[in-house]
Structure formats: C-alpha cells, structure tokens
Structure 1
Amino acid sequence: MPARPKSPKSAPPPSGRARHIGRVIVKTALFGLIAGIAALVIAVLVTMASLPSYSELTQKPNGQTVRVHAADGTLLVSLGPSYGEWIPHDRLPAVMRDAIVAVEDRRYYSHFGVDPIGVARSAYLIYERQGQGRRWQGASTITQQIVRNIFLTNAYSFGRKVRESVLALAMERKFSKDQILELYLNRVYFGGGAYGVDAASRKFFGHSGTRLNLAEAAIIAGLVKAPSHYSPSADPEAAVDRAKVVLEVMQDADAITPAEARAARLDRVRFVPEPKQNSVRYFTDWALGQLDSLVDEQSAPLDIWTTLDLRMQRAADQAIRQNTPANLQGALVSLENDGAVRAMVGGTDYVTSIYNRATQAQRQPGSAFKLFVYLAALEAGVKPGDPVVDEPITIDGWSPRNSSRRFLGQIDIRNAFALSINTVAAQMGQKVGFDTVADMAHRLGISTRLNTHPSMVLGTSDVRLIDMTRAFAVISNGGNAVTPYGILRVSTTDGTILYQHEAQSPRVLVAPFVAAGMTDLLQTAVNTGTARAAQIGRPVAGKTGTTSSNKDGWFLGFSSGLTTGVWMGRDDAKAIPGLQGGRNPAQAFASFMQTALRTRPAQQFDTEVTLPEWQLEPDEEAYYGDPDQQFGSDEEGVTPPPEGQPAPGDGDDTVTLPYEDDTAGTPPPPPPARRAPAPDRVPSGDQQRPPQIDQRWLEGVLRDQQQRPPR
C-alpha cells in the first residue's frame, strides 16, 4: 500500500514574548493616535479662539493700493490690488458659486476643511512619481486656499501645510460653509490686480459681480488656477479655452445640464478693453521709485499727489509724437525752477517700451555739453563780448574742426557759442582746464562719469536727459541749485499726511553774474544761432546738440521759469542721416513750450541780447547745409566721412558760413544771394591772418531778408 503524503507542518504558535511585543506596538500606536487626535483638537480649539471675527476678515485688505494723482487732483493711475464691492453670499450669482466649487473643491460641502480623499489622491500621485519633485497638488480645499490667502504665504514647506490644515479645521468649526465661500469669492485673486468677484467682473466685463451669467462665471472661475496665464487682459483666447474646461467640469459635477453648458455662448462674451497706457506712466513709474525713501508705510493704501500738469503732459506727448521721425525714439522732460517736474515723456509709446529714455538712457550730448565749458570760462572771467579767434588748434594730438572745415577768424565769445564753433570751445576748455569743465558739470547735477580728454568739450561722455535739463534749470534759476522731484504729498486714505514736500533752501551753484552771462549766450543761440527753430515768440534761451554721425539730437532751453529738455535718436545708437538738434528736437521744444506757457506772462531775462543789425536775421541757408553731410567727432578725433563726402567737423549743428579758398589773396566776385563771401587772406611772412567775413557785403545781402520770418 502506497505511503500517505506527509501533511505540511503547521507554524509554531507565537511565543509569549512575541505576543507581548505585538500588544505593546498596537497599544503604542493606539496611544499615539489618540494623543495625536487630542493634540489636533487642542490646536484647532486654540486656533479657533485666536481667529479674527468674520466682520474683521471681511474688512482686512490684501496688499497695498497706491493711487497717484496729478497736481490738480486728477487720478492718473491706481496701482496694486483692486477691490470691488463686498457681495454677500445670498447676492452672489448661483452660477458663480457652483462654478468655483465644481472647479476648485467638488466635495466642499461634505468635508470638514481638509479633504481626506483629496489628500490620499495627492499622496498616491506623489508615490507614483517619486523623484520628480512633485508637491501636494490638488489637495487644497477652498477653506485651505482662503486660509493661505489671508494668514500664510505661498512658500511651500511641510510645516506650512500643517499650519494651513489646522487653520482650515478651525475656520470650518468657527464659520459656516456659506460664510467661508462668501469670504473666498470676495478675497481670492483673479488676476490683473483684481481681488474678489466684483473687482474681476468690473475689470473684465465692465459690470457688477452680481450680474454674472454662466459664461462669465466660468471665465472667472477658470482664472484661479493661473491668473496671469488665463487673464482676459493678457490672452482672451486662453481665458475662453479655460472656461470651456470649467463648463465641462460643472457638467460632470451635475452643477449644470448639457443644455445649459451649450447655451453658455463663450464666443459672445465681450471683454472690456484694457485702458491704453499713455506717456503719463513714464512719469508715475519714475515718481513712485522715490516713494520708499519718503515714507515707511508698506501696507496701508496710499494717495500720492504729484507735480504733473496734465495739460503740459498732453502737450509733451503730442510734441514728441508729431516731431520724432519714424523709427526713432524721443524723450522730453520739463521742470520748474524749483525742480517740480511738470511733464515727462520717456519714449514714443509706453505700451511697446516702458524703458524711460528721459531718466534711464545715457547718451552723448554733443555740443549741448558746451554749456559747462562756457560756464567754466565765464566763472574764470571771460565775458560774452570778449574777442576770440576761430582758427586751427591741436590739443594733445586732437584737432577739432568745424562742420564746414573753415574758420571764421576773429569773432566774439557770444557768437562763437551761438554758432557752436568747436575750435573756440576747445580753446575755452584748454584755458580753464578739462577737469574744471567736468567739475562744473557734476556741480550742476550731471550724475554720470565724465572723461577729461580734450574732446570732452564736444560732449563725448554719456549723460541723462533729466540731468542735462536740471543743469539748464540751474541757469534759469539764477545759478541756484535745482533738484527734480515728482511727489508733493503722500497720505493714507483717511487723510493722515505721511509726507509733505518742503521747498529746499537756496543754494548757489554758480554766481548770479555767471548765470546771467550764460543766459546771454543761450539767448543768442536761439535768436541767431543753431537753435532758431526753438523760437516761440517770447524770450527763450537754449542750446542744441548733435553727436557723431547724427546719432543723437538734443535741444535744451528755458523760458518764463520753465526748463525743457528734448532728446531724439535710436535705442541702438545707429547713425540717423539728417538728425540735428536744431531741427526736430528744437521743433518739439517749441511745440511743447507754446502750449505749456500759454497761460503764463512772458518774462524778460536779466540780460537782454543786443546784436549788430546785420546779425539779427542771419542767412538760414548759409547756416544749415546738407544734413546728410553733418558728421561728428569722437574721443579719438574726427570721424572719417563716407567715401565721396567732405571731411566732417564735430557733427554738431554748427552754423556754416561757406566760402571758397583764394590762395592768391584776392576775393572772388560776390556769389549769388544767400551765400557768404570768400575770405580775404593777407599773407604776412610765413603766417597768414585768420580770414575775416566781409561784413559790409553780408549786411547788404541780409538787409533784404530782415523781414522774412525763420522757417
């Protein structure tokens, strides 16, 4: 008989020691669980006691709102978070409540602040994707989100998640579901600076949040996930696509029927267009940059009153837009003698470029920099009427030239400045010292680094427009210091004054007689020199500037207590044929000042320019040659001209009085009208005296044109 198979041996019963260890582990775990629950209950109860009342939660804003006003009180811009009207739960549209619950927390009405199913699902996803850096995503309930929004930050950590959960549990114990949902819909961020359903509805649709239909509610509900990405202001198509997902989720959650989902015509939703960002934002951006140094308040809403004059700002914007050539940029700054900035344009279009060329860009000023050269000379004792010789000069191997490659011979300081004669500026710089010129520029407010090469007198160092305008304002202010400012007063919304601008005590930077002498020279430049396009029918003083190969055009000047600076050029600093400070920039200056000064009486300067009759109405054509043949001088000397064109001077809008060389020393016959005569060169041994203009001939030519207004 076959043998029976052996039955498997049964496991030996656990020993008494093993049973004891098992019971200890179970008891310890049970005790730990009970202790944990007890600790959680105590934490929730303590947190409940420390939570603010519901009325307090509805009043506390999130973030700081800043309202910026013009000088007349007009609201320029409101920055920071925007809060609409608080909408009670019973007035919140049902479609809005259903949409947010469906897409953000489907089990909202069944959990107690923390969703165990959501936590388990998130934990499983983390386990599945180990090593991918996944966080606890999708587990936050509406209650947890509002807790994080009000009490915590978005910085992720395990400790923050624990505190968030405890606070959520406490919120659910202290407040009802309806209250928490009301709080959420009135406080959550929906993008574009809008906090709460009402602010979002007004921003995106132009009406109150109580009037939202299903399609609009779906769009707003879809914003919570990624406010910036789905914002209708930034990408309307993305907002609509996200809303389609929300409608599908609502249908899946039985919040709406398929027929209702189809009836929600997202293609018929009309978004409110974003207000155009005009040039005033260049000013507000600059002014608000000073706020931190004026007040310490970081959370309370603020009202800021500024120096901006809206009428002048509109005139400035129009002047730059109308006078800046296509594909170029333009900038303008205008300030009072006390430094109050009345207008600022940092570019032709703030929407396409927020870069502020009035305060940030550093460009070469060309002959506008001669302001500091002649100021240093006047301070050293030079007088506007002193004679000087326009002749070749070489300083440390550098030989400046005038744009005509000609020299006028004996001339006075006043006309040398008015005609922007480079050789005379070089002589003045050499006489007073190039370090002295740089010190003068820094004294008057130039904040950038300046070289002290001889060519610096022609403006080869980079400067800012606002600094140059400030320097010219010092002369307008009689030599007293001028510090540009944009903020007059800062207060909280309840009227508490946090800052009030106070006028600075007078501080003399240059003596009044020096400022008066400089005003004399600047008037002459506008009356008879390179800046004639800046005439506005009242006393004006100013100076043009054009840099190498016409890369930059400047005009800076003042009249009736208002100083304005204009710059034009390309951001990439490429050459611009025909750009000269005496043309488009001077024209923009004149266009702006005619409007800006319309309500002000004309003011006479302390020094009134008196010129010989023959100089009162110079020959315009003689002054301005072919703009494409104006070139510039760089730090190394003269920039070579393109092949086939005459050699350049410094490239500034130097007035040119063309004449032909006559080596025999005999003047040629008088040229056609509107041309200056040939010089009279008289040999004297190995030397020749500098050429002299035949003033009698020029007087006869110009007398016929004295009544002709400048073009």
Structure 2
Amino acid sequence: MAGRQERIEPSFDHEDRSSEDAFSVSADDRAVPTAANDKRGKTAKKTAANQAGAARASKTRGGGSRRGGSGGDGGGGRQRRKRSFIGHLFRLAIAGVLWGTLAVAAIIGYFAVKLPQEAWQIPDRPPNVKIVSVQGDLIANRGLTGGKAVSLEEMSPFIPEAVVAIEDRRFYEHWGVDPIGIVRAAFTNWRAGTTVQGGSTLTQQLAKNIFLNPEQTLQRKIQEAILAVWLEHKFTKDQILDMYLNRVYFGSGATGVEAAARRYFNKSAKDVTLSEAATLAGLLKAPSRLSPARDPKAAKARSEVVLAAMLDEHKIDKEQYDDAIAEKPTKAKSYWDGAQHYAADLVMRDIKKLIGDVKEDVTVETTIDMPLEKEAEQVVRKTIDGTNRNVSQGALVSIDGTGAIRALVGGRDYAQSQYDRAVDARRQPGSTFKPFVYETALEHGWKPESVMVDGPVQIGNWKPQNYENNYRGPVMLADALRFSLNTVAAKLIDAVGTQNVIDTAHRMGITSDIVNNPSIALGTSEVSLLELTSAFAPFANNGYKATPHLVNRITAEDGKVLWERGAEVPPKVVSPEIVSMMNAMLRRVIESGTGRKAALKGFDAAGKTGTTQDFKDAWFVGYTADLITGVWFGNDNGAKMKHVTGGSLPAEAWHAFMAYAHKDMPAAPLPGDYQIGQPEAPLVADGNGGYQDGQLPIEGGQQPVGANGGGQVYDRAPPPGVVVEGRVSPPPRRESDESLFRRIFGG
C-alpha cells in the first residue's frame, strides 16, 4: 500500500555466532537520539529501508551469494565482534567481582552471626589485687593477670617498640589484617619448609586473646579477622597496643607487662631496660619454652633476634644494640621469689571473706613490715644453710601485741616450695605447750614457788621421762618450767585435769583441736606455728587475746574503702596476776634455762623451747613487750634432725631476728613485777629415802595423803583447798639427802 512503511525483520550477519553475541547490545544501540539528530536519523532510516528492499529483490531474483552479499561489510563486522567480546569479558569480570563480594559478605556474615554476643564488647580486664606492706611497699600482685594495667606512657618505651618490631612491623599501617604480612609469612615459611613466621597482626592476636579460644580452625581464623577489623574501627592504634600489652601472656604465670617485669626482673614495667624489653618481646613467640626461668640461654638468643629487628627498624642505634647484646642472660627463679609471697597467698585466702568476689582492681594494705620480712627470710635460710644437722625447712612468724603479723616465712625458699609451714603445717609443739599447763595450775592456786618432786610418774599406761632421763627431786614449779621437766608437767596436768588445760589453750589462741589426753602436757597434740605464737601474746600484752591478722584495709582504685579493720578492744583472757607470774617464770627460761641462746642484751624477754621425740621438730616461741615471735625447724617428711633442740637452732634464729627487730627500739619491760621467792612448803628428807612436807597450810584442816610421817613421798605441793590423791615412788638417791636439799634450795 502506498505510504505504508514495510516491516523490517531482524537479520544475522553470521549463522555461527553464539546466542550471547547475537543478543549483545553495543554502546551505539544504547544511545538515545537527541532533537539535533532527528534529520540525520530520518535519513538513516530511509537508507536502511532502501537497502532492505534491495536485499529482498536480490533474494527473489536468486542472484548473488550470501558471502558476496556481505563482503563489503567484512571489516566492520570483525571490529564489532571484537568490541562485543571485550565487553562481554568486562561484564563477566564485573559480575564475578559482584558475586564474589556477595559471597565474601555472606561468609563474613555467617561467621559474624556465629560469634557470641559478648564478642562485640571488650571484656573487662581481670581485676588485679595489689598487696602492699604497712609502709606501702609492693609485696605482690595477685589475680588472673598478676599485675596492674599500665598505659603506654607509664611503661618503658622500649617495650612497645620491641613488640611491634618483632611481632608486627606494619602495625601502624594495616587495618587489622595485613595481606602483605600474610604473603610475606607464607613465602618465608615455604622457603623454610616449616612454620617460622606468623601472618597474624597484633590486632588479630588481641582479638584471639580476649574473644576467642586458641583452636586452629578456619572458622576461628575468619572470626579473628572480623574482630580485628572491628577493633581497628573502634579504637586507635595506641589503644589497641595498650590493651595487647596488658593482656598478653608472658609465661610463668605472668599476664601483662607489669606482671612479667615483676616476675622476671623484680621491677616495674616503667624501669625495664632495652635488653629486658627485648627478652619480654621474645617471649611472645613461645612463652613457656623461652622463659628466662626455664631456659635463660634460649631467652637470650631470642632477645638478640628482637634487638636485630629493632635495629633494622631504626628503633635503636648500633651502640644501643651492641650494649644490649653484651648483657648476660637473665636467670629468673622458676617461681615467684621472696618469702613475702607466703603472706600474699594468705591475703588471697582471706579477701573473699572480707569483700566477696573481687570485681575491680583493689589494693590490700597489710600488716607486714617489709624490712622485718626480709630479715626473717634471711635468718631462716642462713640457719638452715649454715648447719649440717639434717635440717631442710624452717618457718618464722612474728606478731605484735594486737595480733598483727609483722613477718611471715613459711619455708626456706618460696620459689622451690609454696607450702606454708607457718600457717598450714600442723606439728607437735613439744614443750612449747607447757606454759598452758603451768598457767592452768596457777589459775587453780599453785604458785611459781610451789614445790613438786621431779621423779618417776605413771598416769594410766603413760610413763613420761625427762629429756636427760634423770630426776632432780623436789623442785619449784618455776624451776621445773625453766628446765622443762616432763614429769612435773605430767603431774600438773593430772592434778588440774586435761580438759582444763585444753580450755586454757583454746582461750589463749590455739585453734586446732586438742586431744583429751594427759600427754598433751608434753605437746603431743599438733598445732600450727602461727596459732602457737599468737597464744603466747597475752603474756606480752598483759592478758588480752591477740587474734592473728594480716589485712588492715582494702581500697578500690578510686580510693573508696571497701573494708577496714575495726578498733574493737579484744577480750581479756588472763588476769594481770597470772600474767605477772608467767612472765617471771618464762623470763628465767631465757636468762638461765633451756633458752639461754635466745637472750637479748638490754631487753626484757621471755619464752619457751620445745623439742619433739627423736628430734623431729624443734621450736622456740618468745616475746618482748613489742613482738611475739615463733620459730620452727624440721623436715617435711618427718625425718630426724641431728640433735637439734628448741634451745639450739630455733633459739639462735629467734635471737638473730629479734636483735634486728629491736635495734632501734627503746627497751620496755614485760607486764608485771612478780619476783620469784623461796620454795613454798619445802620438802625435807624423812630419813627413809623419801621426802616429807614440813609446814603445808591446808584450808579446812584437810591433809594430803602421806602427811603422816610414814616415809611416803609428797609428789605435789597442793594449792589451798585442794586435796591431793595418790602417791609415787621415791626418786633415785643420786646423792645424800642433805646435799640434794642444799643444791636445790640453797643453804
């Protein structure tokens, strides 16, 4: 029909083109014609219509070949196909990037969702317990970290420089994950044939330490990378490095640089030298294997690698490098060193009872006097090391009249054994228990001048003997205690009753269970050195109970007081009269008795020795008006010492410590002014191998058994109102009655 435009059918230049090419759209096809190009567009359409009509006419006539018909367009078709192929590759690449990005995003999202919710919050650093002496000196840090957090500004600048140089040189350049570092580590490990270098950044290590477990899995590595990127987004580089250095493990129980510096070098992180900083940084590769406490040479070799890295990174100069290399390897103890750690352990036992769970950094102010603590440690160690009498362990406790522990040594070397023999060990106290027997007797009416016969005794099946296996005959109680006569102590406990003695010991401060048996008069029921020492305190403070304690106050970092010891007056457990008599008797133990080696020149002192059977334990507990100190020596396995008595090594060690403790103190007298006089109701020879009481006042006209002049021996000088029952055989006649009487009582 005239004027009607014929439909133009789509055509294909080549039948062998792929479907993608056939439906590809060129840039020209996507162009949108503008008004300025309308005329040119109409002309192009007319030309295209004429060409299409000619092609149809040619087909109708059957003239010309398909190849010949397109020959004039061959070059342009190839160009179009080339451009179409390149465009196709570009689109494939774009699609690949898009799909790859989506896949990575999906994987990241999947593993991010699997992270625990708490992973998106930085957990609080485990709280530190800072334990200080009464002077404010650091005793120890305790807690999971073992040291307080210190900022980058507070610590030695060598520490962060050394750690960055050896662990993550590009720390300040990457964004949490370092592809360059990963490739470098992979190439290094491939060349070495083993894993010699890690690709993890410090940020990744921090993420692993505070959020994840150490398992080596693909999931954990992906989660580590996710968290590292998140950390870099949330914190500055210095903040990340600060967190890392305060939370990373340095081996030997030390977490964080402060704990590590204290652990290996016995100094604060702020005082660490270049060589020491390199040692700390070197530990991060293998904290246990490279610990200076385990292998100083390996630690030194690794520190030299760190120093070389610092030199290469221009963090130090050649002179600094050479000086640090020249330093000798650090040899650290295999465990925390110093007897003060016995006190620190005791603090950690008590702290939960005082403030509950520790949820923030706290400072515990103790009663420990550090100069006294150091001296006590040296005295115990020197005494053991200076003898060949088969002594391997010792302990010392010193408290004041309030019960405040001024020094506590639980063994010869804390680094070798953390078992506290001053607090936890229960051993037989031997004759150091006798003062409680004598105190009970005084409270029942006896006097220091009361006389008893030192002779054979049997109570049930128990037949105690004296240390030297001999007897002195009639003696005053004061002399029986001075020479630590077993038979007299046995007779006293038999007279006053075992339970009364047990009650006295508990009232004075013994907390262990005591067996209800007369043999406890000789110290057969086990106690600790700490409780035994505290039980002597009422003699020194005029009768007040002194409960041993170590903590004065606990404060938070902001100064808030969480707990403080009160100022309550302790109960009075001994009357001043009894205190005065006991001090008079125990003073003579040091002046002229079994404890002469403990005597302090210029100071009023008293105390008691103790030795158990077969020399398994040796004790001395003594006191002045200022300090009460107990000393024990022995062996953990109960092995016999070589004739070590309480009057030998323990008394000597007590003297050495107390002389140091009192060197700047004014002399002060012990409570009471009791003066021991002549024997009360002396026994006289009756001519028949025994002794008979001369003038023994008895209330109510009662008379003790044997007071009839019939040749029996009076083995007790009874107090007023007490009737004595029973007899014992006369003592062996080692000398004439007259000379014996004169030797004991004079004249």
The TM-score with structure 2 as length reference comes to 0.64
Offset, 1:546:
0.7
Offset, 1:308:
1.9
Are the equivalent residues in 2 in contact too, given 1:71–1:306 (CA < 8 A)? yes
Are the equivalent residues in 1 in contact too, given 2:159–2:281 (CA < 8 A)? no
**1:304 maps to 2:364:** yes
Counterpart residue number, 2:152: 86
The separation in 1 between residues aligned to 2:483 and 2:514, in whole angstroms, is 24
Aligned residue for 1:602, secondary structure, equals coil
Counterpart residue number, 2:410: 346
Counterpart residue number, 2:461: 397
- Unaligned runs of 5+ residues in structure 1 are 1-29, 122-136, 614-662, 667-681, 705-711
Aligned counterpart in structure 2 of residue 195 of structure 1, from 247, 250, 256: 256
The separation in 1 between residues aligned to 2:515 and 2:457, in whole angstroms, is 20
Aligned residue for 1:227, secondary structure, equals coil
The separation in 2 between residues aligned to 1:342 and 1:212, in whole angstroms, is 33
Closer, same or farther in 2 for the Cα pair 1:465/1:158, shift >3 Å? farther
Aligned residue for 1:411, secondary structure, equals strand
The separation in 2 between residues aligned to 1:372 and 1:380, in whole angstroms, is 12
Aligned residue for 1:499, secondary structure, equals strand
Offset, 1:223:
2.0
Counterpart residue number, 1:559: 624
The alignment-based identity, stated in percent, is 35
Counterpart residue number, 2:105: 37
TM alignment of 1:77-476, pairs within 5 A: 77-79=140-142, 80-81=146-147, 83=149, 85-86=151-152, 97-101=164-168, 109=174, 112=177, 142-151=202-211, 164-174=224-234, 184=244, 188-191=248-251, 193=254, 195=256, 220-242=280-302, 268-271=326-329, 274=332, 277-296=337-356, 298-324=358-384, 325-326=387-388, 327-328=390-391, 329-476=393-540
Aligned counterpart in structure 2 of residue 545 of structure 1, from 595, 610, 614: 610
Deviations 1:256-281 (A, max 9, x none): 9xxx9xx9999635455659934333
Deviations 1:197-230 (A, max 9, x none): 99769966999999998x9887555422332331
Deviates more, 1:74-83 or 1:354-363: 74-83
Are the equivalent residues in 2 in contact too, given 1:445–1:471 (CA < 8 A)? yes
Are the equivalent residues in 2 in contact too, given 1:539–1:605 (CA < 8 A)? no
**1:605 maps to 2:701:** no
TM alignment of 1:647-662, pairs within 5 A: none
Offset, 1:484:
0.7
Aligned counterpart in structure 1 of residue 559 of structure 2, from 479, 488, 495: 495
**1:579 maps to 2:644:** yes
Deviates more, 1:337-346 or 1:406-415: 406-415
Closer, same or farther in 2 for the Cα pair 1:552/1:299, shift >3 Å? same
Offset, 1:554:
1.0
Closer, same or farther in 2 for the Cα pair 1:568/1:64, shift >3 Å? same
Counterpart residue number, 1:480: 544
The separation in 1 between residues aligned to 2:407 and 2:422, in whole angstroms, is 11
Offset, 1:442:
3.1
Deviates more, 1:309-318 or 1:363-372: 309-318
Offset, 1:548:
0.6
Offset, 1:191:
4.0
Are the equivalent residues in 2 in contact too, given 1:384–1:521 (CA < 8 A)? yes
Closer, same or farther in 2 for the Cα pair 1:409/1:346, shift >3 Å? same
Are the equivalent residues in 1 in contact too, given 2:611–2:646 (CA < 8 A)? yes
CA RMSD of aligned residues (A): 5.4
Aligned counterpart in structure 2 of residue 73 of structure 1, from 119, 136, 139: 136
The separation in 1 between residues aligned to 2:356 and 2:215, in whole angstroms, is 25
Are the equivalent residues in 2 in contact too, given 1:113–1:172 (CA < 8 A)? no
Q: Give 1:579's aligned amino acid.
A: V
Are the equivalent residues in 2 in contact too, given 1:418–1:528 (CA < 8 A)? yes
Are the equivalent residues in 1 in contact too, given 2:586–2:606 (CA < 8 A)? yes
Are the equivalent residues in 2 in contact too, given 1:410–1:690 (CA < 8 A)? no
The separation in 2 between residues aligned to 1:174 and 1:586, in whole angstroms, is 64
Aligned residue for 1:440, secondary structure, equals helix
Offset, 1:364:
1.2
Closer, same or farther in 2 for the Cα pair 1:358/1:155, shift >3 Å? farther
Counterpart residue number, 1:656: none
Offset, 1:498:
2.0
Closer, same or farther in 2 for the Cα pair 1:305/1:196, shift >3 Å? closer
Counterpart residue number, 1:24: none
Are the equivalent residues in 2 in contact too, given 1:202–1:209 (CA < 8 A)? no
The separation in 1 between residues aligned to 2:247 and 2:555, in whole angstroms, is 25
Deviates more, 1:495-504 or 1:545-554: 495-504
Offset, 1:42:
10
Counterpart residue number, 2:49: none
Deviations 1:166-204 (A, max 9, x none): 423423555688975676467544346363599769966
Counterpart residue number, 1:632: none
Deviates more, 1:570-579 or 1:332-341: 570-579
Deviations 1:383-416 (A, max 9, x none): 3332322232212212111234333333232222
Deviations 1:542-586 (A, max 9, x none): 111111122211111222142111112222222223211122222
Are the equivalent residues in 1 in contact too, given 2:172–2:237 (CA < 8 A)? no
Aligned length: 591
Closer, same or farther in 2 for the Cα pair 1:491/1:518, shift >3 Å? same
**1:529 maps to 2:589:** no
Offset, 1:478:
3.2
Closer, same or farther in 2 for the Cα pair 1:588/1:220, shift >3 Å? closer
Are the equivalent residues in 1 in contact too, given 2:293–2:331 (CA < 8 A)? yes
- Unaligned runs of 5+ residues in structure 2 are 1-97, 187-196, 680-686, 691-708, 714-727
Closer, same or farther in 2 for the Cα pair 1:399/1:418, shift >3 Å? same
Q: Give 1:348's aligned amino acid.
A: R
Q: Give 1:283's aligned amino acid.
A: A
Deviates more, 1:486-495 or 1:188-197: 188-197
Offset, 1:96:
5.0
Counterpart residue number, 1:709: none
The separation in 2 between residues aligned to 1:198 and 1:573, in whole angstroms, is 36
Aligned residue for 1:230, secondary structure, equals coil
Are the equivalent residues in 2 in contact too, given 1:425–1:457 (CA < 8 A)? yes
Are the equivalent residues in 2 in contact too, given 1:191–1:223 (CA < 8 A)? yes
The separation in 2 between residues aligned to 1:487 and 1:40, in whole angstroms, is 52
Deviations 1:4-48 (A, max 9, x none): xxxxxxxxxxxxxxxxxxxxxxxxxx999959935845997999x
The separation in 1 between residues aligned to 2:164 and 2:258, in whole angstroms, is 10
Q: Give 2:326's aligned amino acid.
A: R
Closer, same or farther in 2 for the Cα pair 1:95/1:391, shift >3 Å? closer
The separation in 1 between residues aligned to 2:258 and 2:509, in whole angstroms, is 49
